[in-house]
Amino acid sequence: MRSVFLLSALLLLDYATASAQKDSVIKPEIYGYVRGSLYGGGDKYNYSNVFGELSLKARYQRARCIAYTELRFRSGEQFEAKYSAAEIIEAYCGYSGEKIEITLGNQIVNCGRSDGFNPTGNITASNYFFLTPNPDDQHLSNFMLRVKLSISPQIDIDIIGIPVFKASVYRYDLFDMGNNIRFEGADIPDKSFRNGSVALKLNFEFPAIGFSLSYFRGYDPYYGFKVASVIQDKPTSAPMITNKASPYLKNTLGFDFTLPAGSWMIRGEFAYDMTTDYKFSIHIPNPSFKYVIGIEKDILGIKTIFQYIGKKTFDFTPLTLPESTHEILNYEFELFNRKIFNQQKSFDYALSIMLSKYLFQETVNFELAGYFNTTSSEYYIRPKLSWNITDNITTSLGCYYMNGPDKSVFNYSSHILNGGFAELRVSF
């Protein structure tokens, strides 16, 4: 981790002193939007998220300098609790040369080439319970140092160093899992170089194929839970069980590609996750091999993306139902973690489809996303209709429905996340 920062500083100094030429000046841009958003109609909450929001974005580039920020100011009600928030979505600056670009600050990085399911996506955390018509609103930025080196027009290297871990936001405390079960916030690792994250990516872009090799070392933003405490006041009463979110350390080797084949586009993404101590800690998943194979084609004017999603769990041992009460508690929570990580069985398979069609001179867009896990029988469907009323006014309507077998993650989530949504946005 320390070496990444030292290398970046030396590269920046070298290029800053070697570059005497001046580039054309690009004037600062300030733009954004105002929107009203409503998400509700679920089993547990009539209004899951209702808010008004102002987004301000600024982009600046002069000579070799670059800077970008997005600020959002929001006020509303979420899960029956009023709130107001001022949020920095991204804020970074840096140096941009012909062969190197260095940026430092809060950034959102999208990894991989597949759509919606990214086995190599280990950097960006998400707030899964911030509900809006746009799933990208859930992405959370990391403070990072990012260095992009251009070896040739077709080959580049992307190096990322993240000194402070940021966990995804789960709201399992909203689940109806019993009055005696509680969930606490994440047990964040100590802030040190040892607990930082490093990501490397070697990217190739050729006319016939694009592909990349990647490596990640750090804490996974998608974590499990461990039992923090079990308190039983009386022998006849149910124990009060407190679970605590616990991130885990892993190493990941990744590969992805995009292959044009006539009117078809074939994409693939693969990742081998390596973990340790998984036999002794229920919040650490087993090593696994994850993959997504997708095809994209325009069919009768409908953009169609079909994906096959799989996972192979290594060193898999089936859980057996114990007899003692204490062992049953461990069994239930280890099973819950396996459900989170899709490791109930040694093989896990799922299918997804995404459809998109523009209508009325591309002023109306209809989207449909669907997912079905053939191993766990969990599924969701998400239709959405967007209408560009004018160049600056857009409205969106849709709904989200998910479900699964009793006590599955999708079944618990359905009472919170299911519902309809509507949004009106004015851009400037």
User: Which pLDDT tens digits describe the chain residue by residue (428 residues)?
Assistant: 555 444 454 444 444 444 444 445 557 899 999 999 999 999 999 999 999 999 999 999 988 999 999 999 999 999 999 999 999 999 999 999 999 999 999 999 998 999 989 999 999 999 999 999 999 999 999 999 999 999 999 999 999 999 999 999 988 889 888 888 888 888 889 889 899 999 999 999 999 999 999 999 999 999 999 888 888 777 767 788 888 889 999 999 999 999 999 999 999 999 999 999 999 999 999 999 999 999 999 999 999 999 999 999 999 999 988 877 668 888 888 999 999 999 999 999 999 999 999 999 999 999 999 999 999 999 999 999 999 999 999 999 999 999 999 999 999 999 999 999 999 999 99
327 conformational bin, left if phi > 0, alpha if psi -120 to 50, beta if neither: alpha
Domain count, the chain: 1
CA–CA separation, 253 vs 217, rounded Å? 9
Residue 142: name the closest of 217, 89, 68 by CA: 89
CA-based radius of gyration for the chain:
23
376: domain CATH number? 2.40.160.10
Other beta carbons less than 10 A from residue 369's beta carbon: 20
- Cα 38 to chain centroid distance, Å, stands at 22
pLDDT of residue 359: 97
Q: Encoding tokens for residue 335?
A: 């099973």
Q: Is 315 helix (H, G, I), strand (E, B) or coil?
A: coil
CA–CA separation, 182 vs 172, rounded Å? 9
CA–CA separation, 123 vs 219, rounded Å? 9
Domain range for 215 is 2-427
Q: Are 349 and 321 in contact (CB under 8 A)?
A: no
CA–CA separation, 198 vs 31, rounded Å? 33
pTM, full prediction: 0.89
Name the DSSP letter for residue 97.
Answer: -
CA–CA separation, 367 vs 356, rounded Å? 4
CA–CA separation, 149 vs 98, rounded Å? 9
Place of tokens 């989207």: 367
CA–CA separation, 269 vs 290, rounded Å? 8
Amino acid present at 357: K
CA–CA separation, 120 vs 295, rounded Å? 18
Q: Are 387 and 394 in contact (CB under 8 A)?
A: yes
Place of tokens 């933003």: 221
